Chain A
Amino acid sequence: MLNLTHWEIGPIFRALMRNKTGAILIAIQIAVTMTIIVNAIFIISERQKLMARDSGVDEANSFYLSSSSFGEDFNTEVTAAEDLAMIRQTPGVIDAMQINAIPMSGGGWSMSLQTKAGDDIDGTGAAVYMVDEHFLKTLDVDVIAGEPFTLTDIRLRKGSSTDWPDKTIITKSMAETLYPDEPWHSVVGKTVYINNNEPMIITGIIDQLQAPWIGWDGVERVMLSPERLEFTSYRYFIRTEVGKRDELMPQIEEMLANSNKKRLIRDVRSMQETRERSYRQHSAMITILGTVMIVLTVVTGLGIVGLASFSVNRRKKQIGTRRALGASQQAILRYFMLENFIISSAGVVLGAVLTVGLNIWLVKAFELNTLDWYLVPAGMVSLWIVGQLAVFGPAKRAAAIPPALATRTV
């Protein structure tokens, strides 16, 4: 039987009104706690979404290193060909190639492509990776329309070159951004313009590959340019068989360093480490906010325990009297639980308003996204539960007060 008058909501409420301060303090605490927790959870989930994105390469089994020549008369073209032949022959290596920049690493090249030639036409930015015909296996990408590059497509790019090859392969995302009104596979064969007027034919489309900048909103927009690099400093990207990476990293570093003393091999780094470094800020934020949430919940919980214990102590005599007059232990327990529920309700309602308010401010000031609506009711329910759990101990002790206490003077 659900009989609301049995629940004594009226008397509880009137009693609360007679001693508002403690209740108001707890309600505000609950409200602010909820505001922080819900916004923190939202920020955490946003960061987790960012971190869950796939870079497109075989992250677990890939690494890279850079080779910088010094001294005069260094033949980069010959050295690179020898290096790559050696690396590709090494047991455990799936494939390797020269590249100008690394996904997720934070440093790279971008160029603007436009669908019509002309100085005054708006272009679409894309990250540029200069690759050779080994890119399919090395970068672990699939050509989903058109053709991959072949050996004859690859030209030699010098440090001072400013022009571009006449072919390019782009990601599906880039194809969709360049030609929003056409299905992506029909983009193969079209001509786009780089440097406003220089034509390049799109000969293929790859499924997915990320740009070097994880914070860029066009992170999925990439173009591949078929070029070997004759720079004083460039990188080799190497993909290994599963589980062979850690063993091959020092081995290949040493092999290259010994093969030619007129250059430096440096920055040997796995893709996994690159990911950790680039996303470190986000994983740190997740840890910090998580810690704050836990500590905050404990503080608020203890505050509720403290104040409830105090109010139980102060009302010992009244509780004894009620018990003597026939109230059951259940009724006393219910009284304190309900009292907390009423206070928490006021707190979470205020909390919902503050939560949305803080989010609106964060959106304005820091360009965060708008809160997922369901986090607000979820936060409300969680704090209700925290309140009920915190008050349960003191309420239990109140219920244990013997009726005989009413007859004693304190």
Chain B
Amino acid sequence: MFSYYLRLALLSIKRNPILSGLMITAIALGIGASMTTITINYLMSANPIPEKSQQLFYVQVDSWNPYEAFDEPNEPPNQITWTESQNFMRDATAFRQTAIASSNAVIEPQDQDSKPFMSSIRLAYSDFFSMFNVPFLYGNGWQAAEDNDRALVVVLSRKTNDTLFGGENSVGRTVRIAAKDFKVIGVLDNWEPIPKFYDLTTDEFGSPEDIFMPFTLKEALELNNGGNTNCWKSPEGEGFKSFLLSECVNYQMWVELRSEQEKQDYLNYLHNYVAEQKTMGRFAREQNNRLSDVMQWLKINEVVADDAQIMLWLSLMFLLVCLLNTIGLLLAKFSGKTAEISLRRAVGASKSDLFYQHLVETACIGIAGGIAGLGLALIGLQGIKALYGEFADKVTSLDMNLVIIAIILALVSSIGAGLYPTWRICKIEPASQLKDQ
């Protein structure tokens, strides 16, 4: 029966090519626009580390100005001071923990023909790699001992290793960074968390840094501050050391906590830590300690751009217009078939047979519209990429989930649109239209 209905549907679509074409175009445009914006929103709000996003927590404590909150109404600073980074890492009460920061320095390739270049640096502790499941191509990260020794060791990103060593296994080789010789101990495999959740202060859809080295080298090599530095009070005294010891925030802190109990313990630790600092004259504001898991932290930082959300809602309304359009056109098309339908009813087709038959027809239109819509979404995403440039590179690719969503959206919406016209046409009495003939 299904194949017969399918044949009838195709015949009917062929009989009214303009009307059918309009319907398919309308659905395709609606689906295309919606899928473009759904894709962008879906990728922007993606979970960058689904396997352990609920065990990784971003740490905030309120070391800010006693007279004014960091952000209204009473938000603690979004980063921590050097002092906190050192104390939290010294106490190390979580299962794993790392303070991190960004910086940059010049790399001088050994090859005299290659020009020196500026590279971005991620300063981290040894737990960083295991906490964030960072994949290695060659070698490994460093150990806690190297953190303490301020060892001149470096992990290269795959791209940096390609630039410096042509993609060879460079573990054990030497790289000159910031006028110091570093030993390569690891090379990362491709690693592109979207968004770059571990540091959202700048460029949340950017790539991870070029090289990774022990956080403690910040002080030893006097590496400059990357990202955002915010101060409510200027450093007391001159020099790099006094800047580190100031109340300026430029560092991020992540901890890995495996259970609710560990989370409570860590909150208690933070409470006691702040209480202790208060006795030393710091932390004049009330206790305001936060632990946010990865998805909470992304939400607090409003990683999904407002414009993307506005476009999503507008495109869904656009889809609505296209569907209303389709309903109207279907009504028009079906009511041109009243004579045929009453004839079929008269020779024995039941209402449900007719309903089924016309649903097949609308589904055909829906699938055609959905496929065309996917094509339009691909074009739309290319357009967005062209308009936004590198900023949108990572949020404009369709994956299998999205293709399935698109087809389902097209089917559901076209069948939804077809229900009312189909229902109406099935109410035609067998004899009503025959009288005229």
Contacts and interface: CB of A to CB of B under 8 A. Distances in A.
Interface of A: 21-22, 25-26, 28-29, 32-33, 35-36, 39-40, 43, 68, 70-72, 119-120, 122, 158-163, 195-196, 232-233, 264, 266, 277, 280-281, 283-285, 287-289, 292, 295-296, 299-300, 302-303, 306-307, 309-311, 313-314, 362, 365-367, 409
Contact of B387 (A32, A158, A280, A362): A280
B388 A281 contact: yes
B324 A162 contact: no
B309 A303 contact: no
A183 B167 CA distance: 65
A285 B307 contact: yes
Interface string B262-295: 0000000000000000000000000000000000
Given A233-B224, A295-B318, 14 more contacts: A21-B420, A25-B327, A32-B317, A36-B321, A71-B179, A159-B224, A264-B116, A288-B383, A292-B315, A300-B321, A303-B328, A310-B333, A310-B336, A409-B436
B6 interface: no
Contacts of B234: 162-163, 195
Contact of A303 (B108, B179, B325): B325
A120 B332 contact: no
7 contacts: A29-B321, A32-B324, A68-B106, A70-B106, A280-B391, A289-B314, A303-B328
A320 to B, nearest CB: 16
Contacts of B179: 70-72
B284 to A, nearest CB: 10
Contacts of A160: 238-240, 242-243
A296 B318 contact: yes
A281 B391 contact: yes
Interface string B237-252: 1111011000000000
Nearest to B320: A32
A36 B307 CA distance: 15
B321 A26 contact: no
Contacts of A409: 436
A225 to B, nearest CB: 14
A28 B387 contact: no
A226 B64 CA distance: 29
A303 B329 contact: yes
Contact of B321 (A71, A296, A366, A367): A296
Contacts of A71: 179
B115 to A, nearest CB: 8
Chain B interface, DSSP helix/strand/loop, else mixed = helix
A283 B25 CA distance: 28
Given A29-B321, A43-B310, A70-B179, A310 B332 contact: yes
Contacts of B378: none
A119 B242 CA distance: 20
Nearest to B241: A160
Contacts of B318: 36, 292, 295-296
Contact of A300 (B224, B325, B388): B325
B322 A299 contact: yes
B116 A70 contact: yes
A284 B325 contact: no
A367 to B, nearest CB: 8
Among A36, A160, A303, max chain B CB count under 10 A is at A303
B160 interface: no
B117 interface: yes
Contacts of A68: 106, 118
A284 B321 contact: no
A21 B320 CA distance: 16
B304 to A, nearest CB: 11
B100 interface: no
B238 A161 contact: yes
Interface in B322-350: 322, 324-325, 327-329, 331-333, 335-336
Contacts of B240: 159-160
Q: 3 shortest A-B CB distances, which residue pairs?
A: A310-B332, A70-B106, A284-B387
Contact of B238 (A119, A162, A366): A162
Interface residues of B, number: 58
Nearest to A29: B324
Interface string B113-142: 000111000000000000000000000000
Contact of A25 (B67, B307, B328): B328
B331 A22 contact: yes
Given A21-B331, A160-B240, A362 B391 contact: no
Contacts of B26: 299, 302-303
Given A39-B314, A71-B179, A233-B224, A25 B29 contact: no
Contacts of B317: 32, 35-36
Nearest to A277: B389
B72 interface: no
Nearest to B421: A21
Interface string B12-28: 00000001001001100
Contacts of A264: 106, 116-118
A71 B106 CA distance: 9
A316 B324 CA distance: 25
A91 B44 CA distance: 48
Nearest to B424: A21
Among B234, B237, B389, max chain A CB count under 10 A is at B234
B324 A284 contact: no
Contacts of B116: 70, 264
B306 A70 contact: no
B402 interface: no
Contact of A36 (B314, B325, B391): B314
Contacts of B388: 280-281, 284
Contact of B29 (A43, A72, A295): A295
Contacts of A158: 238
A245 to B, nearest CB: 22
A346 to B, nearest CB: 14
B387 A287 contact: yes
A285 B284 CA distance: 44
Contacts of B237: 162
Given A68-B118, A285-B307, A314-B335, A292 B314 contact: yes
Given A160-B238, A288-B311, A292-B318, A299 B331 contact: no
Contacts of B19: 306
A280 B321 contact: no
A206 B144 CA distance: 54
A158 B242 CA distance: 14
A36 B314 CA distance: 7
Given A22-B331, A232-B224, A284 B384 contact: yes
A56 B307 CA distance: 27
A292 B310 contact: no
Interface in B344-402: 383-384, 387-389, 391
